[in-house]
Amino acid sequence: MDNLESILSENRVFSPSPEFSDRARIGSRAAFDALVAEAERDFEGFWARLAREFVTWDTPFTQTLDDSNAPFFKWFADGRLNVSVNCIDRHLPAKADKTAIIGESDDGTVTHISYQELHDRVAKFANALKAQGIEKGDRVVIYLPMIPDATVAMLACARIGAIHSVVFGGFSAEALRDRINDTEAKLVITADGNMRGGKKVTLKGQVDKALEHGCPSVETVIMLEHLGGVPTGTSSAKEMTWAEAVDGQPAECEPVMVEAEHPLFILYTSGSTGKPKGIVHSSGGYLVNAAMTCSWVFDLNDDDVYWCTADVGWITGHTYVTYGPLALGVTQVVFEGVPTYPDGGRFWDMVERHKVSVFYTAPTAIRALMKLGDEVPNKYDLSSLRLLGTVGEPINPEAWVWYHQVIGGGRCPITDTWWQTETGAHAIAPIPGAIDLVPGSCTLPLPGIMADVVDDHGKKVPTESGGNLVIKRPWPSMLRTIWGDDERFKRTYFPDNLPGYYLAGDSARRDQDGYIWIMGRIDDVINVSGHRLGTMEVESALVAHPDVAEAAVVGRPHDVKGESIVAFVVVKGDRPQGDAAEAMVKTLRDWVTEQIGPIAKPDDIRFGDNLPKTRSGKIMRRLLRGIAKGEPPEGDTSTLENPAILEQLMGND
Ligand code: 6R9
């Protein structure tokens, strides 16, 4: 690490090594440029070719892109397929005995699931869902820990054309209830609980609470007896264990072939308003990009052991745990625990034991593990690694270089992948055998992804200037709509000022080589440990507390989490001070945990008599962001109605 400073100041370029490029799927800049040119020359032909290469169609499509009702684009619309067949059956019988999933639990128990076993488990569970009356198009909520059964549940839904909506196990009963009600799910799949970092987490209890508070659509709850528990719910929904549900079900289940546009899943993500958006993804187009990017960006091959550390509750766990890697028929690790249990060597120990070759994680995890010192990873044999990836937020060059040197031994390319719940799959990312890497940049858009940086009128901004990150043409795995809210979809992603462009919600700049540098969100979304949270969402939770009159939430830079949450709160009655303030902070932190989940818990809560507002009543968040960082207010404060409040919130009075 002695040369870290010099590397950073050199702004060094890391070119692909000949050893890597020689065996890579796309092994040179020329090969990459040829793909870019192909997509530009014959956009639809390019995607049609890839759709045929990466997906097995039951009925081949004849039309590639239908843009007649833009921005409600359709891809491969007259084609039919089944996603679970693409992820399992098409690998059989050739890969019947190949390990699909290496599951490792918190306590270190390891299970291997072959492609044949995966098939049988998915078929049985799909039959179980059918037995509970689930049909094509019905919504099923999955609220499970990060265990192979979550993947089984997702694929079982896909097998019968049911639309799953996975809710992250860290979300509270309230958040779960909102998602169940928004999707009007008929069935909920959960577990009694699980172990994380040696601690027990209950899931079924949250489902019970959600149902008690009213989820009229839910008819059935299936509970995996992961910790040996029994269902104890008191709602009117029918309850059964996973074992009961699959008891006697055959290990064959005829797949339901669906239209390419049939929704595969709904996944909620945060936006600018208090209500999370149900992002709808298609079956055909989604799978094309999921499989293609696993092949191009992760360069996955038959002999790879791949590990993505994301939870299935997030889009990364959908595309890069369940769908992409299984579509390619590779072996992957699924880990239930946390990186620091039993100690900070857990990830590296697992890389050594399972001989992981391609590893994908988030900058927040890299920064946290980097803090523990090089001696931790240095104890392990990491020589199986050949490619490293990151996702979720910009990676700072220091963490990038550490990941490259200490984890990757200087030999593994790092693919910094920019994408979103909405894009479905990687959109801007280096193709590792072809593209020179520069720490901190996600480099170039993938061939076929027409990303650019434009001003508020859609005009390309000059090199090195910041602007809106947009994608100028549709792509197969783009979101199709917001569940139940087409208008919001149009307004949010295809605003009138940008003609036909998809607005990502990030700001970015392009350098002289055309490399893209993500600068951050342009909306009120903050990124805590790679998880998107709307400031309005946290504010709505806070003001829902009976003692709170008003609240404003901002992000503050944090060296491990990327950003942390700071809340400015006005309570009803007198501003709490001393012990009363401390007690109120605890109450409100617990409250937010209950309303949304632990990830939304503010790190810092400050009380004021009021909030800094303009004369027209708008909260001046710019000032609050400065105060949160401990910086004296700068810039124009003349429009402020109540300047004295700044001193109070800074803690100076
Ligand atoms: C996949 C995922 C999307 C937002 C996105 C951006 C940020 C993701 C990034 C990145 C810089 C990267 N983001 N990857 N920023 N570099 N490589 O994270 O989806 O949870 O929807 O978040 O995350 O701000 O707009 P999602």
Indicate if the pLDDT at residue 213 is higher than 50.
yes
> Does the pLDDT at position 25 exceed 60?
yes
What 231-238 contacts at long range (C-beta under 8 Å, 24+ apart), as own/partner pairs, is 231/192, 231/204, 232/204, 232/208, 233/204, 233/207, 233/208, 234/208, 235/208, 235/211, 237/188, 237/211, 238/132
Q: Encode pLDDT of 433-480 as tens digits.
A: 999 999 999 999 999 999 999 999 999 999 988 899 999 999 999 999
**What is the distance in A from the centroid of ligand 1 to the CA of 421?**
8
Rounded to an integer, the average pLDDT of 315-334 is: 98
Q: What is the ipTM of this complex?
A: 1.00
Q: Report the mean per-residue pLDDT for the chain.
A: 93
How many angstroms does the Cα of residue 394 sit away from the middle of ligand 1?
8
Which is the closest atom of ligand 1 to the Cα of 421? 21
Residue 316 Cα to ligand 1 midpoint, Å, equals 10
Range of weakest confidence among 92-101, 125-134, 196-205, 409-418: 196-205
| Residue nearest atom 10 in ligand 1 by C-alpha distance | 393
Q: What is the pLDDT of residues 373-393, one digit of tens each?
A: 999 999 999 999 999 999 998
Provide the pLDDT for residue 234: 76
* 290-to-81, 258, 325, 427 alpha-carbon distances in Å: 15, 18, 8, 11
pLDDT at 273 over 80: no
Quote the ligand 1 centre to 221 CA distance (angstroms).
33
Binding site membership of 418 for ligand 1 (Cβ less than 6 Å): yes
Ligand 1 within 6 A of CB of 315? yes
User: Residue 243: is its pLDDT beyond 90?
Assistant: yes
Q: What is the pLDDT of residues 559-612, one digit of tens each?
A: 999 999 999 999 998 999 999 999 999 999 999 999 999 999 999 999 999 888
Residue 518 CA to ligand 1 center (angstroms) comes to: 9
Listed by start position, the domains of the chain span 523-650
Give the pLDDT of residue 532. Answer: 87
How much distance in Å is there from the Cα of 392 to the middle of ligand 1?
4
For residues 489-494, give the mean pLDDT: 96
The annotated binding site for Mg(2+) is made up of 543, 545, 548
Residue percentage of the chain with pLDDT more than 70: 97
Looking at residue 512, what is its pLDDT?
A: 93
Res 7: pLDDT: 45
Spatial CB neighbours of 347, under 8 Å, sequence gap ≥ 6: 309, 339, 361, 365, 369
Q: Residue 1's pLDDT band (boundaries 50, 70, 90)? A: very low
pTM: 0.92
Please report, rounded to a whole number, the percentage of residues in the chain having pLDDT higher than 90: 83
Q: Write out pLDDT tens, residues 532-549.
A: 888 888 998 998 899 998
Rounded CA separation 206/171 (Å): 9
The CATH-assigned architecture of domain 523-650 is 2-Layer Sandwich (3.30)
Q: What is the pLDDT of residue 6?
A: 45
Neighbour-count burial of 3, counting CB atoms closer than 10 A to its CB (0-12 exposed, 13-18 middle, 19+ buried): exposed
Q: Is 394 a pocket residue for ligand 1 (Cβ < 6 Å)? A: yes
pLDDT average, residue stretch 25-38:
97
Contact 316 CB / ligand 1 (< 6 Å): yes
pLDDT of residue 652: 64
Q: CB of 167 within 8 A of CB of 159?
A: no
Instruction: Name the residue at shortest CA distance from atom 5 of ligand 1.
Output: 420
Atom of ligand 1 nearest to the CA of 390: 17
Q: How far is the CA of 287 from the centre of ligand 1 (A)?
A: 20
pLDDT at 380: 98
Residue 9 has pLDDT above 70, yes or no: no
Instruction: Please report the pLDDT score of residue 235 as a whole number.
Output: 79
User: Which residue's C-alpha comes closest to atom 17 of ligand 1?
Assistant: 418
Q: Which pLDDT does position 2 carry in this prediction?
A: 41
Atom of ligand 1 nearest to the CA of 531: 20
Specify the pLDDT at position 88: 98
- Name the binding residues: 196-199, 316, 392-394, 416-421, 506, 521, 529, 532, 543, 545, 548
